[in-house]
Amino acid sequence: MEDFSCDVLIIGGGNAALCAALCARENHQNVIVLETSPKDWRGGNSQHTRNLRSMHIQPTDVLSDSYSEDEFWEDVWRVSGGETNEEYARFVISQTPQIIQWAKSHGVRFQPSLGGTLQLGRTNAFFLGGGKALLNAYYKRAEQLGIKIFYEHEAIDLHIQEDECKYILVKDKIVNKVSQWRAKTYIVASGGFESNLDWLKEAWGQKADNFLIRGTKYNQGLMLKALIKEGAKILGSPTQGHMVAIDARAPKYDGGIVSRVDCVSLGIVVNKNAKRFYDEGEDFWPKRYAIWGRLVANQPEEIAYSITDSKVLDKYMPSLFPPIIAESISDLAKKLKLDEIILKQTLNDYNQKVVAGNFNHTILDDCKTKGLEIEKTHWAQKIDTPPFYCYPLRPGITFTYLGVGVTKQAEVIKQNGEVCKNLFAAGEIMAGNILSKGYVAGFGMSIGSVFGRIAGISAANFNTKRGW
């Protein structure tokens, strides 16, 4: 009998990893979790989350009204411009109601969701205390069940021979020592490569210098690199990902949700040349916010400015940072170091083309512009009531979509189409099976939870079938 450190070795310590760990343990497996961060920073991007998207056929204690599988799927289809995998997307969507029940049974608490510009009460279940509380609940349960967690242990490589993973190379960062860890099965749930500045630069060029990483600094993509090297099937492009426009004053890493700017659809956005460049009112903000990071990334110097006036001040959740306030557009231009004449011209052109309608931010209203090169199609109101407010915007990467191909049992697929029998993947690292462009809020945690659970169960089933 080979000498294994455990039945199931899990790489990563976020939502997908913990869902996998709990399911494997509940299926009688000896489980080890390797988390590269120190304990205080455990939980990767999942610690920054607030909710997950779930279908439901009638109101529940945490979700209002109903949200069918078809409607959920249509939302995914629309935001991705059809560039998604219907079979996999529906596979995840159909299992979302069980996720909420399962999470509750593992100590996670949910809250009734908020209204306002995000309007997610019908579609997204909010974690009470946010993602940090969700993870604390899962870690607590994991410890109660005897799952061993090794913090500051980074998986730096893996080795696949024929159709099996043979070992993982692990760096114990506390004593700075690298060793081989062998297990009967392995689950990679170590996120994307969004925290790896060199890799981002390789994909995006110099632009990447101005990107901010909204989440953890620990998702360096080491396992993704190892999977590429070992001949796993890789899906997607390194430039695709969830990228929102965030407050330009946010820190390089871990700015989290509070640095997001949610007033874009209520005003106009101009670039460094003081010109508008996209329809700010194209659709509800939760269905559009994920394209704005990329839009800003493609503007001169990768910066933009969201401008509103006092009329809409109470209609959105502010960023953590105070808005830049000015009593006149000239004053605003000076504060933003934008060309005053052009900014005034942009505002005048916009104001003149606003068609009066009934402003209602909870529906796709009839307030729009008519006659501009770039129209604003909803929620267009004149920006004419001082003071004027501005948030500077930078591209904020949430997570990358480049990922490894998996079966619906979460088994890693190789380039030649064969399946790696004892190697599974869950979460961001395989989200590219479904996400290749665009995003609907809350889907990341749905994908990670569904595939995390499947990976844990599949790993256990594999070991049981082998008679281990």
Ligand X SMILES: Cc1cc2nc3c(=O)[nH]c(=O)nc-3n(C[C@H](O)[C@H](O)[C@H](O)COP(=O)(O)OP(=O)(O)OC[C@H]3O[C@@H](n4cnc5c(N)ncnc54)[C@H](O)[C@@H]3O)c2cc1C
Interacting residues with ligand X (CB under 6 A): 11-17, 34-37, 43-46, 48-52, 154-155, 189-191, 214-216, 218-220, 222-223, 256-257, 398-399, 427-428, 442-445, 448
Gap between the Cα atoms of 136 and 140, Å rounded: 6
Contacts of 176 (CB under 8 A, 6+ apart): none
Return the number of the residue (154 or 302) whose C-beta is nearest ligand X: 154
If you write DSSP's letter for every residue of 249-300 in order, what string do you get?
TS-SS---GGGB---GGGSEEEETTS-B-S-TTSS-HHHHGGGHHHHHHTSG
Q: How far is the CB of 245 from ligand X (least distance, A)?
A: 13
Gap between the Cα atoms of 334 and 463, Å rounded: 66
Q: How far is the CB of 70 from ligand X (least distance, A)?
A: 20
Q: What phi, psi does 366 have (nearest 5°)?
A: -100, 15
Return the number of the residue (253 or 468) whose C-beta is nearest ligand X: 253
Q: How far is the CB of 389 from ligand X (least distance, A)?
A: 23
Asked whether 148 and 129 are in contact (CB, 8 A), the reply is no
Q: How far is the CB of 192 from ligand X (least distance, A)?
A: 8
Q: How far is the CB of 397 from ligand X (least distance, A)?
A: 8
Return the number of the residue (39 or 466) whose C-beta is nearest ligand X: 39
Gap between the Cα atoms of 387 and 384, Å rounded: 9
Asked whether 310 and 389 are in contact (CB, 8 A), the reply is yes
Which two three-digit tokens encode residue 58? 């009638």
Q: How far is the CB of 434 from ligand X (least distance, A)?
A: 11
Asked whether 46 and 14 are in contact (CB, 8 A), the reply is yes
Gap between the Cα atoms of 185 and 250, Å rounded: 40
Which two three-digit tokens encode residue 87? 């079979």
Place of tokens 């991705």: 80
- Per DSSP, the chain holds a count of helices (H) and strands (E) of 11, 22
Q: How far is the CB of 146 from ligand X (least distance, A)?
A: 20
Asked whether 421 and 411 are in contact (CB, 8 A), the reply is yes
Place of tokens 């860890």: 181
Q: How far is the CB of 218 from ligand X (least distance, A)?
A: 3
Return the number of the residue (34 or 380) whose C-beta is nearest ligand X: 34
Return the number of the residue (215 or 323) whose C-beta is nearest ligand X: 215
Place of tokens 């500051």: 152
Q: Please give the single-letter amino acid code of residue 203.
A: A
Return the number of the residue (186 or 350) whose C-beta is nearest ligand X: 186
Return the number of the residue (222 or 264) whose C-beta is nearest ligand X: 222
Task: Please give the distance of CA 427 from its chain centroid, rounded to a whole number.
Answer: 10
Asked whether 35 and 181 are in contact (CB, 8 A), the reply is no
Asked whether 244 and 292 are in contact (CB, 8 A), the reply is yes
Return the number of the residue (20 or 312) whose C-beta is nearest ligand X: 20
Return the number of the residue (379 or 401) whose C-beta is nearest ligand X: 401
Question: Which residue in 170, 200, 257 sits closest to 400, CA to CA?
Answer: 200
Q: How far is the CB of 446 from ligand X (least distance, A)?
A: 6
Question: Which residue in 219, 105, 9 sits closest to 449, CA to CA?
Answer: 105
Q: How far is the CB of 355 from ligand X (least distance, A)?
A: 35
Return the number of the residue (134 or 312) whose C-beta is nearest ligand X: 134
Q: How far is the CB of 45 from ligand X (least distance, A)?
A: 3
Q: How far is the CB of 159 from ligand X (least distance, A)?
A: 15
Return the number of the residue (14 or 395) whose C-beta is nearest ligand X: 14
Asked whether 148 and 135 are in contact (CB, 8 A), the reply is no
Return the number of the residue (281 or 427) whose C-beta is nearest ligand X: 427
Q: Determine the angle formed by the axes of helices 130-144 and 15-26, rounding to 10 degrees.
A: 30
Question: Which residue in 251, 242, 305 sits closest to 439, CA to CA?
Answer: 242
